[in-house]
Structure 1
Amino acid sequence: MAPRRGSDEPRRGSTRGADAARRGGKPDEDPPAERGFGISEARAYTPRGRTMRERTPRTGRTADPFRPALQVVEGGKPRARRPAAAEPEREPGGTAGRASGGGQPRGANRTETPPRVMRKGTPPPVPPPRKRTTAAKAAAAADRPVRTARRGAGTRRDDPRRHGGPPPPRKRAPRRPPKLVDQRRRLRLGTVLALTVFATIGIRLVTMQFTESPAFAERGLETRLDRVDLPAPRGAIYDRGGAVLAHSVEARYVAVDPELVSDLPKTAAALEPLIAVPKSELLAKMAKRKQPGGGASRFEYLARGVDIAVGQRVEALKLPGVIVHRDERREVPGQDLAASIIGFTSPDLNGLEGLEARYDELLRGVDGKRVFEVGQGSLDAEIPGGYNRETKAQPGSSLRLTIDRDLQYMVQKTLGARMEQAKAYTGAAVVLDVRTGEVLAQASYPTYNAAQPLKSKPESREDTATSFVVDPGSVHKAITIGAALQEGAVKPEDTFMVGPNVTKGDQRFKDSHTNWTPRRMSIPGILAYSSNVGTIAIADKLGKEKLYEYQKRFGLGTATGVGVPGEAAGALLPPDDWSGSAYGSVPIGHSVAVTPLQMAAAYAAIANDGTWVQPHLVKETIAPDGKRTPSAQPTTRQVISAEHARELRLMLEAVTTVKGATGVHAAVDGYRVAGKTGTGSRVVNGKYVSGAVASFVGMAPADNPRYVIAVFAHTPGGGGGEVTAPAFHDMMGYALTHFGVPLSSGKPPKFVVYP
């Protein structure tokens, strides 16, 4: 761009004025056109008439079109701005003094453009040092005189200090801009932070993928899984011959998912006539509820063990939320047959009473489970090919009892008939194999239907053979006499003077067969007529300590462990606790608490040549694979010698053979029978209750005993001879015939009651 014409004033920053000053003359007034236009002048030229050094750096975009070109000349970077020198004072006319030339340059009256003001807070850029070129050095050298002349321009009188005025304010040097943070350091720090964040995220992702992924997958799968229990078939209970006494049969259960039921009243009304559950109960079960651990309840049983046909009818209704699935139902073919022994289960097949409860863990097995993946919402169905795991149910083991079903039926039927005839409150009957201790039959009165146990009374479900605690009465006399024989206190041929009564302590004891005149009686006669006075006389010779010892040997005062839950142990009176009357009451079977099963086991010891064998009901267990495991061998012990046992059995035959004896109604045609009648009292919670307990315990054949039967009955009144002896007759007669026992070869001896 050409310099402006029509003005002889040199531009600021030009070397023209400076050259003239150095020569001591006036500035060269040659027109610029005649003089050349050097590169240094081009460098110093700006459109606004200022040098690059005078311009205040701007922030942002500049409007100077020559600035990029000049930066190229200077090396591509802007030069550092030097602090401006102090300007001389101007005359009031607006002109300033010049160098030694003294004249005003042309164009002095022009108004100079004030320096551009930088924005507040914007620090001037600090260019990095640059290498100066030769031309730049020459221009700088040319500039220095001009600035010197400018600083020295004007007269001395223009200096305010010469007139005593205050010195001009000194301009402070501009503050150096704060040192910027090292960009490379910031970059390194940011890189490290970014890498740390990405490394942490990466490690977490790897951990979740390879270490925790199974847990997350399992949590997700849990929300899509459905479970169905597979009931384990409960083991069966068989009699000694393999006949089914109780077993489980296939059935159906009806359940509900309360979250899926759309119309409660309609669903309940449809199910009520099919599953025989009241509508009010159904509504309560189908109502939505929360589980104790949190979450909605998704399964509630409505009925269990329903017939397969009923389940199919319920399925045909297609009620929303109603579930029908395979189940089992406990079935007792004999209904009340051996119900007091077998017991019953709950609807979910847990044993509650009897052998079902005693052997519950062995019978019930382990339920299986099927877990499968289902869809959500309207696709709530099993996903084909999805997660599916099935744990097969492990069936329970079975029991084979010592009970004979046919004998059990006959004993139970006979007992019920005789008890109804005697208007008895309670009755019990036990049949034992004297050699093995096996319980062949065990009946209770009253009884109940084990297939529908909840419809019966609690007292009807008791096993009276093991829970019926009584004073045995005269059946205890065989223990007293057996102990005396074993201890040598008496001999079979001994006789005793028996009067009408005897007093012990503050109590008088008398016989039912009163001897108004004291007479001698044989031991068989004492047993035949159940003489209290004669038995007390024998006990006096034995002593209370020995009697107590033999009571325990015969198994009194201790539960037999037959296997039925709730078996009573009975009670004995220790010798130290005997009062004066105990010397008379204990030997004849009072002040003693026993169960019918205990007395049956005691007589079985007499029948088994003096060896007591523990009664038991379970013959063997049958595993699901068919393996059979016999029950543990029963406990045995010798109570009295075989010789004394035979002598005692012979004496007991007098009870059924002597004319007018108490047990003649127990005799069985063709067989020799030995036994004893009794009349005692029932003990409830340690106290006697009204009524009498009639009893008869006997064995047959007496010459070679096979079975012992004990019959007890709590009646309003009556002795063992009238109530229980006839029942014994019926039961023993059937047992001997049922098992094919040969008839006795000989006849019982003739007993002398009064020698």
Structure 2
Amino acid sequence: MVRPQYERNVVESAGRGRIFSANGSILVGQADSWNLFAEPKRIDDPKETSSVLAELLAEEAGDRKLIKEEGLRIYSLISESDKSWVPIKKRLTTEVKKRIDEKGLSGIGFDKDEVRKYPEASMAAHLIGFLGKDQDDRNIGYFGLEGYYNETLTSSSGIHKAETDVRGSPILFGISKKSLSYSGTDLNTYIDRGIQLIVEAELRKGVEKYGALSGSVVVMNPKNGGILAMSSYPTYIPETYWEYSNELFLNPVISASFEPGSVFKVVTMAAALDLGVVGPDTRCDACSGPLTVGGYQIHTWNDQYYPNSTMTDVIVHSDNVGMSYVAKKLGIEKNVEYLDKFGIGRKTEIDLQGETNAALRSLKNWSEVDLVTSSFGQGIAVTPIQLLSAINVIANDGLFVKPVVVKEFVIGDKAYMSNNRDQGIRIISEKASHEVKLMMVEAAKYGESKWTYKQGFGVAGKTGTAQIPIAGHYDEEKTVASFIGFAPHYDPKFIMLVTLREPKSSPWASETAAPMWYKIAEKLFLHFGIIPEK
């Protein structure tokens, strides 16, 4: 008598790589999950099997109507005996699997699946991303680290092929083949859990307090570009990503372009100082009133004018006319050259999926009006991460470092440093950097946000209130408020950018983004052990 034989393939999954904070806490981990399947040809009693499974799988235990519906659904799948394999239900817990195993049902089996666990719920959601499915129902990372490092994190599944009899039992001397499974690579990040928690809490409070549509905060190590914290609000919970709209998945820090406004003035000033066309004490001979350029009048933000201002005064007063004077000294060609050096118009290449870029117009398309308005952050677009990276050149003694989230890749018990670390690229001289730093210190002390200044911590900072362009004109009420700063200016331990979109309590950054920046910074001073100078 010839015994009928079957081949059974069992997928053996290894774990997807985990993601850790710099402190060693788990940002993203793994949990066992099981996909239930049936092999109809091996099921003795489809009706009884359906009934037993329905009792264990119904979402509301004890709800007879739901149990009956679940039983009918399962029966419709497993009663078709011409099929060799059918899926029943995905993402079952180990506890449910154990209860089903105890029933000893023939023709019922499980495949192990990858399920991500996020111990901190929504913390750093935009930075982390989530694990979803592709069109072929395979696991794939989307957005953030999960998307950017999908191949690195992905495990390699093994397959065990074995000949079985009609009841699914292995044949003793049957053919058996097995391929090994491999776990995905773990990621150690620069994210400081303590700082991230501070940022998340204060960002939410700030958005609610100032009535903003949204907001974001990013904190970076000025020396190596390591991202210490990154958060945007509103946010979502990666573990249940399907409950949220797609718009929430985009990370505004790397994907939302905006006109930066006055915060950008320090970039233009840095370029002019590096080129030597102005110095800190150069006097502006055009600062006594509005300036006409190409048929347009340039005004200061508050229509107050300061004749014979020094370049430091121009930054302290956030003077648009003074910046127009600087831009004209710089010239179109050199201005565009320095914008490119500072990374404006190019992606930073941060290791997060979803970074976008607003390209700079070509040199031939620049007019004198474009030149002067770009000097105070209008008519030019950046993402928050581009702006942070550009102004970090000033904090980092004139060197550009690429922002980066992942510090190390861990395979087994060995850690390998991320290969995108460098010593930085010289953009401006150390002298020019020092000069702009001191200007930013003066702006923090005596500028429009001076009331928020914390004495003794050596903060260098600048506000930016950018009107939002709508239908060909700027809306005076709708703004993006921002504040960027680093401390202490002589040896910065952190650089931080705060942005608030359309704050309703006040359109001005000095009354919204600046106090929020200092609220976070107070806690960072303690975190980094920055002691106030007497």
Q: With structure 1 as the length reference, what TM-score do the two structures score?
A: 0.64
Distance 1:688 1:631, change over 3 A: farther
**Equivalent residues of 1:373, 1:382 under 8 A apart:** yes
- How many correspondences in the alignment? 516
Q: Deviations over 1:656-709 (max 9, x none)?
A: 211xx2232553343011111111245799998982111111111012222110
Deviation at 1:397, TM superposition (A): 0.9
For 1:704 and 1:591, how far apart are their aligned partners in 2? Answer: 33
The residue number in structure 2 matching 1:505 is: 294
For 1:249 and 1:529, how far apart are their aligned partners in 2? Answer: 55
Q: Deviations over 1:129-148 (max 9, x none)?
A: xxxxxxxxxxxxxxxxxxxx
Structure exhibiting the larger radius of gyration computed from Cα positions: 1
The residue number in structure 1 matching 2:117 is: 331
Q: 2:410 aligns with which of 617, 622, 630?
A: 622
For 2:34 and 2:474, how far apart are their aligned partners in 1? Answer: 49
The residue number in structure 1 matching 2:388 is: 600
The residue number in structure 1 matching 2:517 is: 728
For 1:525 and 1:548, how far apart are their aligned partners in 2? Answer: 24
For 1:372 and 1:669, how far apart are their aligned partners in 2? Answer: 73
Q: Deviations over 1:525-567 (max 9, x none)?
A: 2212211111111111111111111111111111111111110
Letter in 1 for 2:349: G
Q: 2:10 aligns with which of 223, 228, 234?
A: 228
For 1:287 and 1:479, how far apart are their aligned partners in 2? Answer: 67
Q: 1:710 aligns with which of 463, 473, 497?
A: 497
Deviation at 1:512, TM superposition (A): 2.3
Q: With structure 2 as the length reference, what TM-score do the two structures score?
A: 0.88
Q: Deviations over 1:366-420 (max 9, x none)?
A: 00112222112xx332234533333231111100111111111111211111011
**Equivalent residues of 2:37, 2:85 under 8 A apart:** no
Gaps of 5+ in 2: none
Deviation at 1:614, TM superposition (A): 0.7
Deviates more, 1:669-678 or 1:252-261: 252-261
Which structure 2 residues correspond to residues 204-353 of structure 1 after superposition, within 5 A? 224-258=6-40, 260=43, 262-263=46-47, 266=51, 269-274=54-59, 287-288=76-77, 296=83, 298-304=85-91, 306-317=92-103, 321-324=107-110, 326-346=112-132, 349-353=139-143
Relative CO higher for 1 or 2, CA cutoff 8 Å, sep ≥ 6? 2
Distance 1:454 1:509, change over 3 A: same
Q: Deviations over 1:320-349 (max 9, x none)?
A: 654345444211101111111111112664
Q: Are positions 1:680 and 2:470 aligned together?
A: no
Q: Are positions 1:465 and 2:249 aligned together?
A: no
Deviation at 1:585, TM superposition (A): 1.6
Q: 2:158 aligns with which of 350, 365, 368?
A: 368
Distance 1:268 1:681, change over 3 A: farther
For 1:694 and 1:711, how far apart are their aligned partners in 2? Answer: 8
The residue number in structure 2 matching 1:543 is: 331
**Equivalent residues of 2:250, 2:354 under 8 A apart:** no
Letter in 1 for 2:460: A
**Equivalent residues of 1:252, 1:307 under 8 A apart:** yes
Which structure 2 residues correspond to residues 289-688 of structure 1 after superposition, within 5 A? 296=83, 298-304=85-91, 306-317=92-103, 321-324=107-110, 326-346=112-132, 349-376=139-166, 379-496=167-284, 497-515=286-304, 519-623=307-411, 625-634=412-421, 636-658=424-446, 661-681=447-467
**Equivalent residues of 1:483, 1:550 under 8 A apart:** yes
**Equivalent residues of 2:461, 2:486 under 8 A apart:** yes
For 1:568 and 1:671, how far apart are their aligned partners in 2? Answer: 35
Structure (1/2) with the larger strand percentage: 2
Which structure 2 residues correspond to residues 147-158 of structure 1 after superposition, within 5 A? none
For 1:502 and 1:629, how far apart are their aligned partners in 2? Answer: 56
The alignment partner of 1:586 has SS state of: helix
**Equivalent residues of 1:426, 1:714 under 8 A apart:** yes
Deviation at 1:255, TM superposition (A): 2.7
For 1:724 and 1:267, how far apart are their aligned partners in 2? Answer: 59
For 1:222 and 1:548, how far apart are their aligned partners in 2? Answer: 77
**Equivalent residues of 1:372, 1:388 under 8 A apart:** yes
Query: What is the RMSD of the two structures over their aligned residues, measured on CA atoms?
Result: 3.1
**Equivalent residues of 1:691, 1:715 under 8 A apart:** yes
Deviation at 1:432, TM superposition (A): 1.0
Deviation at 1:319, TM superposition (A): 5.4
For 1:285 and 1:598, how far apart are their aligned partners in 2? Answer: 53
For 2:311 and 2:403, how far apart are their aligned partners in 1? Answer: 29
Deviation at 1:471, TM superposition (A): 0.4
Distance 1:357 1:504, change over 3 A: same
**Equivalent residues of 1:286, 1:300 under 8 A apart:** no
For 1:281 and 1:501, how far apart are their aligned partners in 2? Answer: 75
Deviation at 1:506, TM superposition (A): 3.9
Q: Percent identity?
A: 29
Q: Deviations over 1:52-90 (max 9, x none)?
A: xxxxxxxxxxxxxxxxxxxxxxxxxxxxxxxxxxxxxxx
For 2:270 and 2:113, how far apart are their aligned partners in 1? Answer: 56
The residue number in structure 2 matching 1:44 is: none
Letter in 2 for 1:542: L
For 2:4 and 2:317, how far apart are their aligned partners in 1? Answer: 80
For 1:602 and 1:554, how far apart are their aligned partners in 2? Answer: 5
Deviation at 1:519, TM superposition (A): 2.1
The alignment partner of 1:696 has SS state of: strand
Distance 1:285 1:573, change over 3 A: farther
The alignment partner of 2:239 has SS state of: coil
For 1:590 and 1:363, how far apart are their aligned partners in 2? Answer: 41
For 1:684 and 1:614, how far apart are their aligned partners in 2? Answer: 32
The residue number in structure 2 matching 1:719 is: 508
For 2:4 and 2:449, how far apart are their aligned partners in 1? Answer: 74
Q: Deviations over 1:454-486 (max 9, x none)?
A: 112222222111011100111110011111111
Q: Deviations over 1:694-753 (max 9, x none)?
A: 111111101222211011111155121111111211222222321223x2546xxxxxxx
For 1:684 and 1:566, how far apart are their aligned partners in 2? Answer: 25
Gaps of 5+ in 1: 1-219, 747-755
Distance 1:688 1:498, change over 3 A: closer
For 1:230 and 1:363, how far apart are their aligned partners in 2? Answer: 17
The alignment partner of 1:614 has SS state of: coil
**Equivalent residues of 2:107, 2:168 under 8 A apart:** no
For 1:253 and 1:685, how far apart are their aligned partners in 2? Answer: 52
For 1:320 and 1:366, how far apart are their aligned partners in 2? Answer: 29
Letter in 2 for 1:333: P
Deviates more, 1:686-695 or 1:243-252: 686-695
**Equivalent residues of 1:268, 1:283 under 8 A apart:** no
